[in-house]
């Protein structure tokens, strides 16, 4: 089989037979003319069921994840919701990684709970804690690695073993790693979910989500049948224009990830040496507890770096003082972003045991020149320093010297 970047450019991207256009046209149509009653010219009937532009993107992403089938949705959360509805039944229990996207937790604890779904949060880095959380009615395990925003690393093969032993499904949110860095299905996961809004789209100009499934039977049908039916009957599909943008982004994913990873690594090491920074969370650092595991599981360590500053005031000042690291939720675009997860992406966790520390800041490292980004971080650290009495900063610098 051809390599990643070759597949990224060609998989699912059928050239236009009528004009020879190198880029497949965007099939901006809701319906397809039938040659007779229920005689479909190319298998397409109505764009909720299938659309050539969406199909092309689904095939492209499925090839890169090494899956059996893929389904594109209007957002990452819509993809997650569709997958859960497709496979779960009232009374089921979910094991959910504690460190993960706040919206996933909200979806399960606020919406799916109304339909009789319960969940337990576990430390993603401890297989013992995963095993201890299994109940007779556990139907699904859900993990994100690297996790958001603490960049924890979960042992995917270990999680897959536990799921298999109990006849449960393992779902991996692969948004942070992308298929370029990590292919969860190769480690035994049954389904991968993506917010294609992030690295796959890659340019902060489109919302989207996807579910990629392995060839696996669950509760009397294949996962492809279950999720495919949910996509059609539930209807939260990705539109043609959004599918096109995601497909275009996906073609350059490998190139962009190389750059995101290299730059993030440089910035993480630089931050680690700064006296104002009390901790850097980046799996590429040898001091990261998940470093060895990430090195085995991933091709690179990703473009997200989180850091802890002295206190909340320093973190807030840092997050609001830079030029290129723009204060915003979301991540994975060519432009650098900074986020204050506790009150932005993970606000729904405040007051729960999963709340994010007040001194934590998350960076999505873009593809700008690394030196310009370091200069920007220097501005941020100067703003953080300005929140503190001079003597404290000096003591800290001496400690670290
Ligand atoms: C953004 C994100 C989601 C949700 O995706 P949307 O496209 O915003 O609906 C899910 N998981 C992770 C890891 C994310 O970063």
Tokens of 239: 């539109």
On whether both 175 and 34 belong to a single domain, the answer is yes
Q: What is the pLDDT of residue 267?
A: 98
State mean pLDDT over 32-51: 96
- Of 96-105, 255-264, 373-382, give the lowest mean pLDDT range: 96-105
Between CA 8 and CA 387 the distance in angstroms is 47
Q: What is the pLDDT of residue 361?
A: 98
On whether both 160 and 237 belong to a single domain, the answer is yes
Last residue of a domain, one of 251, 279, 302: 251
For ligand 1, the distance from its centroid to the CA atom of residue 173, given in whole angstroms, is: 9
Quickly list DSSP for 318-361.
HHTS-SSSEE-S---SSS-EEE-TTTTTTGGGTTSTTPPPTTEE
Residue 278 scores a pLDDT above 80 = yes
For ligand 1, the distance from its centroid to the CA atom of residue 279, given in whole angstroms, is: 25
Please tell me the total count of domains within the chain: 2
Last residue of a domain, one of 251, 278, 303: 251
- Of 34-38, 71-75, 352-356, give the lowest mean pLDDT range: 352-356
On whether both 231 and 319 belong to a single domain, the answer is no
Q: What is the pLDDT of residue 400?
A: 60
CATH code, domain with 269: 3.90.1150.10
Which pairs count as long-range contacts for 201-204, CB under 8 Å and 24+ apart, including other chains? Answer: 201/245, 201/246, 201/249, 201/332, 201/333, 202/249, 202/250, 202/252, 202/253, 202/256, 202/332, 202/333, 202/334, 203/245, 203/249, 203/333, 203/334, 204/330, 204/332, 204/333, 204/334, 204/335
On whether both 343 and 224 belong to a single domain, the answer is no
On whether both 214 and 263 belong to a single domain, the answer is no
Last residue of a domain, one of 251, 284, 309: 251
Q: What is the pLDDT of residue 328?
A: 97
Residue 393 scores a pLDDT above 70 = no
Angle between helices 240-251 and 253-272 (to 10 degrees): 70
Q: Probe ligand 1: pick from 72, 75, 76, 99, max atoms within 8 Å of CB?
A: 76
CATH code, domain with 34: 3.40.640.10
Positions annotated as catalytic residues are: 48, 101, 173, 198
State mean pLDDT over 349-353: 87
> What pLDDT band is residue 218 in, cutting at 50, 70 and 90?
very high
Tokens of 332: 């994975």
Pairing of strands 360-364, 209-213: unpaired
Q: What are the tens digits of pLDDT across the range 67-104?
A: 999 999 999 999 999 999 999 999 999 999 998 898 99
Q: What is the pLDDT of residue 190?
A: 98
Q: What is the pLDDT of residue 394?
A: 60
Q: What is the pLDDT of residue 391?
A: 60
Residues in a beta bridge with 140: 94, 169
On whether both 244 and 299 belong to a single domain, the answer is no
Q: What is the pLDDT of residue 349?
A: 84
197 CB under 6 A from ligand 1? yes
148 CB under 6 A from ligand 1? yes
Q: What is the pLDDT of residue 399?
A: 64
On whether both 201 and 87 belong to a single domain, the answer is yes
147 CB under 6 A from ligand 1? no
Angstrom distances, CA of residue 208 to CA of 58, 65, 303: 12, 17, 20
Residue 401 scores a pLDDT above 60 = no
State mean pLDDT over 64-68: 98
Query: Residue 145's closest CA among 364, 285, 293?
Result: 293
Residue nearest ligand 1's atom 2 by CA: 195
- Range of the structural domain that residue 387 is part of: 254-399
- The size of the chain, in residues, is 401
Tokens of 273: 């040496």
Per the confidence metrics, is the pTM higher than 0.85? Answer: yes
Residue 121 scores a pLDDT above 90 = yes
Residue 106 makes CB contacts below 8 A (sequence gap 6+) with 348
For ligand 1, the distance from its centroid to the CA atom of residue 201, given in whole angstroms, is: 12
On whether both 395 and 285 belong to a single domain, the answer is yes
For ligand 1, the distance from its centroid to the CA atom of residue 76, given in whole angstroms, is: 5
Q: What is the pLDDT of residue 15?
A: 84
Between CA 126 and CA 350 the distance in angstroms is 24
Angstrom distances, CA of residue 7 to CA of 150, 199, 253, 254: 31, 17, 11, 11
Residue 242 scores a pLDDT above 60 = yes
Q: What is the pLDDT of residue 79?
A: 98
SS3 label, residue 138: strand
On whether both 38 and 172 belong to a single domain, the answer is yes
On whether both 191 and 71 belong to a single domain, the answer is yes
State mean pLDDT over 346-354: 87
On whether both 14 and 135 belong to a single domain, the answer is yes
Tokens of 24: 């497949």
Q: What is the pLDDT of residue 353?
A: 85
Q: What are the tens digits of pLDDT across the range 137-196?
A: 999 999 999 999 999 999 999 999 999 999 999 999 999 999 999 999 999 999 999 999
On whether both 228 and 274 belong to a single domain, the answer is no
State mean pLDDT over 269-286: 98
Q: What is the pLDDT of residue 222?
A: 98
């Amino acid at each position: 089989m051809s390599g990643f970047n070759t597949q990224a450019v060609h998989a699912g991207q059928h050239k236009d037979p009528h004009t020879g256009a190198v880029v497949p046209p965007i099939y901006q149509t809701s319906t397809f003319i039938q040659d007779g009653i229920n005689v479909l010219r190319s298998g397409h009937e109505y764009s909720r069921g299938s659309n050539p532009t969406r199909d092309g993107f689904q095939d492209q992403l499925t090839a890169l994840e090494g899956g059996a089938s893929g389904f594109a949705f209007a957002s990452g959360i819509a993809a997650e919701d569709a997958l859960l509805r497709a496979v779960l039944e009232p009374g089921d229990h979910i094991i959910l990684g504690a460190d993960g996207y706040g919206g996933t937790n909200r979806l399960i604890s606020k919406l799916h709970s109304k339909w009789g779904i319960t969940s337990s949060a576990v430390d993603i880095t401890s297989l013992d804690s995963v095993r201890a959380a299994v109940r007779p009615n556990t139907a699904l395990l859900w993990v994100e690695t690297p996790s958001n925003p603490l960049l924890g690393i979960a042992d995917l093969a270990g999680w897959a073993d536990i799921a298999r032993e109990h006849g449960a499904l393992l779902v991996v949110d692969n948004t942070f790693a992308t298929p370029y860095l990590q292919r969860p299905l190769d480690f035994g996961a049954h389904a991968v979910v993506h917010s294609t809004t992030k690295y796959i789209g890659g340019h902060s100009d489109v919302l989207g989500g996807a579910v990629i499934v392995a060839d696996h039977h669950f509760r009397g049908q294949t996962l492809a049948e279950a999720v495919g039916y949910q996509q059609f009957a539930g209807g939260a599909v990705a539109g043609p224009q959004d599918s096109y943008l995601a497909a275009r982004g996906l073609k350059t994913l490998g190139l962009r990830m190389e750059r995101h990873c290299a730059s993030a690594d440089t910035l993480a090491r630089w931050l680690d040496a700064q006296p104002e920074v009390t901790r850097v969370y980046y799996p590429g650092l040898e001091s990261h507890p998940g470093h060895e595991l990430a090195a085995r599981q991933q091709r690179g360590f990703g473009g997200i770096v989180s850091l802890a500053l002295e206190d909340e005031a320093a973190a807030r000042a840092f997050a609001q003082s830079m030029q290129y690291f723009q204060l915003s939720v979301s991540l994975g675009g060519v432009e650098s972003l900074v986020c204050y997860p506790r009150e932005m992406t993970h606000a729904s966790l405040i007051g729960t045991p999963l709340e994010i520390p007040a001194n934590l800041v998350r960076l999505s490292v873009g593809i700008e020149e690394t030196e310009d980004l370091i200069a920007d971080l220097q501005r941020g650290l100067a703003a953080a320093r300005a929140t503190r009495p001079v003597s404290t900063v000096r003591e800290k610098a001496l400690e670290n010297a």
